[in-house]
A and B are shown apart, each in its own frame.
Chain A
Amino acid sequence: MMRAARDRALSYPVVALGLLAAGAQAMPAVVLMMSPEIGHALGVGTSVVAAMAALYQAAAALATVPLVDDAARQRRRALLAVLAGAIAAVVAVAMGLAVAWWQLAVALLAGGALSGTVLAYHTPLIADSVPRARWAASLSAYQGFRVVGRAVPFLLVAALVARLGLTWRACLLCTGMLALIAAALAVRLREPQPDSPRMQSGNARLGFAEGTARLLILPTVKATLRIYVVIGILLAPLEVYLAALLADRWQLDLGGRGVLLGCVEAAGVIGVVTGLRGARASTSEPAALLRRAALFAAVAGAALTVGALSPTLALSAVAWGIGLAAAAPLFPLVTAATCALVPDALRTHLAALQGIAMAAGGGIGGLLLLAPIAGQYGPAPAVVVAAISALLAAQRLRSAARQAETSRQQAERAPAADPMRPRGGDGRVPMLTCRGLDFSYGRVQVLFGVDFAVEDGEMVALLGTNGAGKSTLLKAIAGLGLPTAGTIDLAGEDITYLNSQRRVRLGISQVPGGKAVFGPLTVVENLRLFGYSLGRNRREVDRGIDASLAMFPRLAERRNQKAGTLSGGEQQMLGLSQVLILRPRLVCIDELSLGLAPKVVGELMVMVRRINQAGSSVVLVEQSVNIALRLVEHAYFMERGQVRFDGRARELMERPDLLRSVFLQGAGGGG
């Protein structure tokens, strides 16, 4: 029975979230539609009220960031969504009682912040609640509620103000009451139980910025964000100028505008059903969904243009009905397509990004784009510009459909963290595992499917020609750049898209070749800087500094000397000693011997060995093969962005075909 419920498009979570979304949309819609009346009652201009409504969009977009960032909130999405819906309803009621403009602004800000849950949580909750094959259908059903939620405020204003002679206050009170009923009906919403353990574990869970960086690697996600901007423009800003056009050209009063726009918006239900029928045939194929969305966007753009330029009101109404009906399926189709391309754990990040694009890009950006056009040339050109944006979106959707296959392959090659990640053959979890790593600088790919592993406590050498990709691999491991495909695990935990600060906290440290210290700071200041980067307390930092200086007596002698005045070897020594403060699990050392005298290099290598003996795994990137291979048992050799050798250091010495390119003379000499 549970399964049957999950397989229906209109399951309880979809209905509950749809009701909450509809309730959230009503408040700003009423404020925008009645902005002249509200302005006159509160003693501010209509444009001030419209700007305050834009605050609502801004607050909604900004609120998504903390909602996504916090792991604890992620586990209570359903509860927060219902709670936010209920509080937003109370805010709408209170807004109807506002007697000063600033009270209205506060209420709109609060309402906007609360509606951040709609943007960040609703679509991931639906995606987690229903099987993948039903995503498009369920999202379409959800969109149906949103469409009705946009139509109701117009009809409500027409009925309450034009027919019953009530004021904007009564409209907001009614809106709040309806939203409260919606929240009450959604109160049984529960956090979905996924079929498999898909959510990332605590340490490796991606924050908003990390998740965003990871998502933007997928070309389809990047392309569709622009589509969401257009979807945002086709919501609030378009409605504002459609209403203005009805007043300006056809002299419709508030009641007439409300009825006509309510009916035109309600036509979106037809569009959702039409879109849903098509989606059923291609539910699991993102490219097909995007191609279908492109068709709808083109129809929406053309019909809205015809409506804006029509010589008769009847033709305008019909054309706008068709336009908004065609625009309505865009959200479910594009959302279902993009959800299928991202890892489960990143759906909330994706929803937040899309919400920001819709609210900030489309809502606020749309108003900023269309307001001057409407002010200078009237509302009709503003509507035409909005329609043109839909036509451009159609073009963009077609190219996104072409990119979908690439994105799908990238997504499959870079699965999100899975606690059940396969382990090494002996059952032990390697300290570091890179699998199938691709890395690009812009369009230039420099790593190609790199597989690289370091066991716990092991020291490995990473060798290769100049430009082979060694430093790039270290960069990817340290989080200074994001791979375009593949995964990086630290002790079995996926850290592929964590930022470098979090990797430092998890135990990865890097000593960059030749640039490891801050010259103007003293030795102790350099060490302290490293300590504070972990946010540790002063006593712990002092203890770390003492331990580092004890290990490097030469640095202790120069503790108050500027790092820039140290010799090259001493600077590298300082770089190594900084690492000791962090007590890392994995140290990546890049070109430690570069430009140093052999005697100094020898001293540094003793230090590296001691760091390794103290328990840290070490990756040693070296140009000097003889130095590296004297220290390690296990070596990798890279050439042109690929790993050409992975094995015992001794065996590498017996591979002149690899070493010949740069090192043969030195390595062969053994010395």
Chain B
Amino acid sequence: MRRALLLLALAPVLAGCGPNGVLLHDPHALSFVTPQRYATVRLPVILRWTVDKAWVASAGGTDGAHAMLFVDRSPMAPGEVFQGATPTDRSGVVDAAGTTYTLASLPAGSENARGRHEVTVVLVDRGGHRLGEVSDYLQLQVVRQ
């Protein structure tokens, strides 16, 4: 019983260790502008977002900071570098230099009968490390051509 209580008491300590960099308030440093969330679209679709440069600077971002898009896959954790496939439309990971990107195709294997897809955008520095926890996501209904 005592051991169980000790383990339970340790659980929050384990869960809470390293609270650095956590966001309690969303700075809205990164937001999709178009299309609207849950919009029905046809490919190619132009994705547009805004970036708060002041926040990027405060987060330690350099001139090389840019957005990275993830289609139907989850981004890496803050501070990490994406370790998966080479960024392309087909892999579902895109390095985007500006604040727009034209999504021409969906990643291989992500087709589903309902045509629902999710696009997530995060910020990365020049070295590809994710900057903080800021992100935004869109859920799109993609109509087949």
Contact = CB atoms under 8 A, between A and B. Distances in A.
Interface stretch (B13-21, B60-68, B87-95, B103-111): B13-21
B133 A41 contact: yes
B11 A43 contact: no
A95 B14 CA distance: 9
Given A43-B76, A99-B21, A91 B11 contact: yes
A106 B13 CA distance: 10
Interface string B116-145: 101010100000001001010101000000
A41 B25 CA distance: 13
Nearest to B7: A110
Interface string B1-44: 10011011101111111111111111010000000111000000
Contacts of A36: 118, 137
Interface in A83-104: 83, 87, 90-91, 93-101, 103-104
Size class of the contact patch on chain A? 35 or more
Given A41-B133, A103-B17, A169 B12 contact: no
Interface string A43-55: 1111010000000
Contacts, number: 120
A44 B70 CA distance: 12
A93 B24 CA distance: 12
Interface in A378-405: 378
Contact of A45 (B12, B20, B74): B74
A40 B11 contact: no
A43 B78 contact: yes
A99 B24 CA distance: 12
B91 to A, nearest CB: 16
A72 B15 contact: no
Nearest to A375: B112
Size class of the contact patch on chain B? 35 or more
B113 interface: yes
Given A36-B137, A41-B135, A99 B19 contact: yes
Contacts of A173: 24
A43 B80 contact: yes
A40 B22 contact: no
Nearest to B19: A97
Interface stretch (A247-255, A318-326, A579-587, A590-598): A247-255
B15 A106 contact: yes
B1 A106 contact: no
Contacts of A40: 74-75, 120, 122, 133, 135, 137
A373 to B, nearest CB: 12
A39 interface: yes
Contacts of A247: 38, 139
Given A41-B133, A73-B1, A107-B14, 18 more contacts: A40-B120, A43-B74, A43-B76, A44-B74, A66-B4, A91-B11, A93-B12, A96-B22, A100-B77, A103-B14, A103-B15, A110-B8, A113-B8, A114-B8, A166-B26, A170-B24, A251-B36, A377-B114
30 contacts: A40-B133, A40-B135, A43-B74, A44-B74, A44-B77, A45-B73, A48-B74, A70-B1, A83-B5, A87-B8, A90-B12, A91-B15, A94-B15, A94-B16, A97-B16, A98-B16, A100-B18, A100-B77, A101-B77, A110-B12, A165-B26, A166-B25, A167-B23, A167-B133, A169-B22, A170-B25, A248-B38, A375-B112, A376-B114, A377-B114
Interface of B: 1, 4-5, 7-9, 11-26, 28, 36-38, 73-78, 80, 112-114, 116, 118, 120, 122, 130, 133, 135, 137, 139
